Amino acid sequence: MSPRQHEGDDTESFPDDRFLLPQLPGADTEEVEKYQRGGFHPVHLGDVYDGRYRVVHKLGAGGFSTVWLARDDTEHSWVALKIVVADYSTSVSTKNQLSCHAASQPTSDAVFGFVVERRRFTLDGPNGRHLCLVLPVLGPSASQLSKGIFSRITPSLSRRASYQAARALADLHAQGFGHGDVTTANILFGLLNMDRYTESDIYRLFGAPETAPLETESGETPGPEAPKYIVKSLDFLSSEESLISQDVRLIDFDQSFLISLPPEKMLGIPAEFLAPEVAVGLKASPASDVWALGCSIFRIRSGDGPFSAYETLGELPGSWGDTLFDYYGQPTKEPTKGSPLEPWEGKRSIKDLIYKIWDQPENSVVEAGRVRLEDPVCGEDKKKPYPPCLSDTVWKPTAMKINNSYIEGYSDETDELLETLPKISENEAALLYDLLSKIFVYDAQNRPSAREMLTHPWFHMDDL
C-alpha cells in the first residue's frame, strides 16, 4: 500500500547535501549527512574511548549508530563499540536498560538469543552527547548472507537461524517486551572464539581497513563534526578461515517497548517488515513483531522479502480505508496534513513466491538448454565463490555458471537463468507456506505467537 504523493507540494523543504558520496566501491556506508549536530560522532581508526577501547576496524552502521571493532586494552579482548547518534542517545539508553534486563532472563534454556551490553558510557563530542554501548563482537547479519542473487544461506542453516530468532523473540515477549525492529539486519550470526585472534590476525584474515576521504560539495575541508574519511565495513565472508558460527542472536533494542505500554509513534522499522496494522496507525504489539519475523524468515530462506512498501495481501479491511497519510507516509488524523491510500494492484501470492524459491545446484556449472556465448561482463569478485570453509553456511549465486553465462544483475535474462536452478522441495514448500500463511493475515489476533511458532514442523525438518 502506498500513500498518495503530494505532487506540487512545496511546503516541505530539504537541506542541500553537504558531502559528496564516499568513493568506496561495494560499501554500504552510513548516511554521511548525519555528521551534524545531534547526529553521528566522527570516528577515526586508532581513536581510544573511555581510556581503553581502541578502534581497529568498522563493523557496520545503521540509521541510529555506527558500530566499531575495538580492542579492549584493559581486558585484552575484542568488543563491538556502538556509538549512538546524539539525538537518540537518551531514548535508546532507557529502552536498552529495560529490554536488556528482559534479555538477561530468558524463559527457555537457549544458550543463544540476545546480545546484552557489557557496559556503557557517554561521550561528549562536536555533535553532542552520545551513548556508547560495549557489546560482544558478532558476525554478519542475515541480510548480508541472504541477499538475492548475490548471497544465499543454505536451506538447513536457514531453518536453524529462523528457529533461533523465533525462540529469542518468544523469550522477549514472555518478559513483557516487544522488539519493534525484527528484521534480517538485526539477526546476526555469532563468531567462533574471536578473542584468540590478535590485531595482526584481523588484518591477515580480512585485510587492512579500506578508507575514502569525506569531501564536501563546496570543496571546503569538513569541520570537526565530520570524520576525515569514511571506513568500509569489515567483510566476514572474505576470509579463508571461517569464524562464523551456526547460531544467531537477536540484536538492537532501539525500538523496543513495553507490551503493556506500546509506543504512540510509528516504529522505525523498514516498510518491508512493517506490520500492516501498524502502517495504518494502530499500535505495535507482539503480533506486529511476529509479522516482521515472518518477513525475516522468508528473506532468510529465499534471499528476498515477500513484500515491498507498495504491495498488499489483497483487499484491505474496510476500517483501514479511512486512514490518512502525511507527506512522509506516516498515518495522521489531521485532514489538512494527509491523504487516503490509493488503490494498489500489487497483490502477491505468498504460495507462488514460496514454491518458486530456487536453491543451489550440485555443481557450479549448470547446462540446461540453449548455450550462450561466454559472458565476460560480470566482475571477477562476483564470479569468485565463497571460500570452501563457508560451504555449510552460504553460497554465491553469481559464481554459478549457467548455460555458459554468469548472473550479473536483475533482468529478464537473469530470471530465465534462475529458472534452470533446482527449486525448494515440494515438502518444504508446503510446510513453509503453512507457517507463513498463518502469519501473513490482516487480523493481528489471528496470528500465532512467537512461542506457538516454535513447534511448527518447518523448523524441525532436519530433526527427522
Helix axes 286-302, 426-439, angle to 10 degrees: 160
Q: Kindly report, residue by residue over 158-187, the tens digit of the pLDDT.
A: 999 999 999 999 999 998 999 999 999 999
Q: Taking residues 352-360, report their average pLDDT.
A: 93
Q: How far is C-alpha 1 from the chain's CA centre?
A: 22
> What pLDDT was estimated at residue 280?
85
Contact assessment for residue 313 and residue 396, using Cβ atoms and an 8 Å cutoff: no
Does 147 score more than 90 pLDDT? Answer: yes
Q: Taking residues 92-99, report their average pLDDT.
A: 61
Contact assessment for residue 183 and residue 267, using Cβ atoms and an 8 Å cutoff: no
> What pLDDT was estimated at residue 341?
65
Q: Taking residues 4-11, report their average pLDDT.
A: 39
Percent of the chain topping pLDDT 90:
60
Backbone angles phi, psi at 72, to 5 degrees: -80, 100
Q: Please enumerate in sequence order all residues whose Cβ is within 8 A of that of 45, keeping only pairs 6 or more positions apart, or say none.
A: 55, 56, 57, 209, 211, 231
Q: Taking residues 382-388, report their average pLDDT.
A: 86
Q: CA-to-CA distance for 62 and 420, rounded, in angstroms?
A: 36
Q: Kindly report, residue by residue over 182-231, the tens digit of the pLDDT.
A: 999 999 999 999 999 999 999 999 999 999 999 999 999 999 999 999 99
Q: Kindly report, residue by residue over 275-313, the tens digit of the pLDDT.
A: 989 988 899 999 999 999 999 999 999 999 998 655 556
Q: Kindly report, residue by residue over 64-91, the tens digit of the pLDDT.
A: 899 999 999 999 999 999 999 999 888 7
> What pLDDT was estimated at residue 15?
58
Percent of the chain topping pLDDT 70:
84
> What pLDDT was estimated at residue 34?
96
Long-range contacts of 48-56 (CB under 8 A, 24+ apart): 48/73, 49/81, 49/121, 49/123, 49/132, 50/121, 50/123, 50/132, 53/79, 53/81, 53/134, 55/81, 56/199, 56/202
Q: CA-to-CA distance for 159 and 246, rounded, in angstroms?
A: 11
**Structure-model confidence comparison of residues 346 and 420, the more confident one:** 420
Beta strands 401-402 and 365-366 are parallel
Q: CA-to-CA distance for 129 and 131, rounded, in angstroms?
A: 7
**Structure-model confidence comparison of residues 320 and 380, the more confident one:** 320
Q: CA-to-CA distance for 386 and 381, rounded, in angstroms?
A: 10
**Structure-model confidence comparison of residues 145 and 269, the more confident one:** 145
Q: CA-to-CA distance for 390 and 385, rounded, in angstroms?
A: 10
Number of CB atoms found within 10 A of residue 227's CB: 22
Q: 386: buried, middle or exposed (CB in 10 Å: 19+, 13-18, 0-12)?
A: middle
Task: State the pTM of this model.
Answer: 0.86
Q: CA-to-CA distance for 402 and 372, rounded, in angstroms?
A: 9
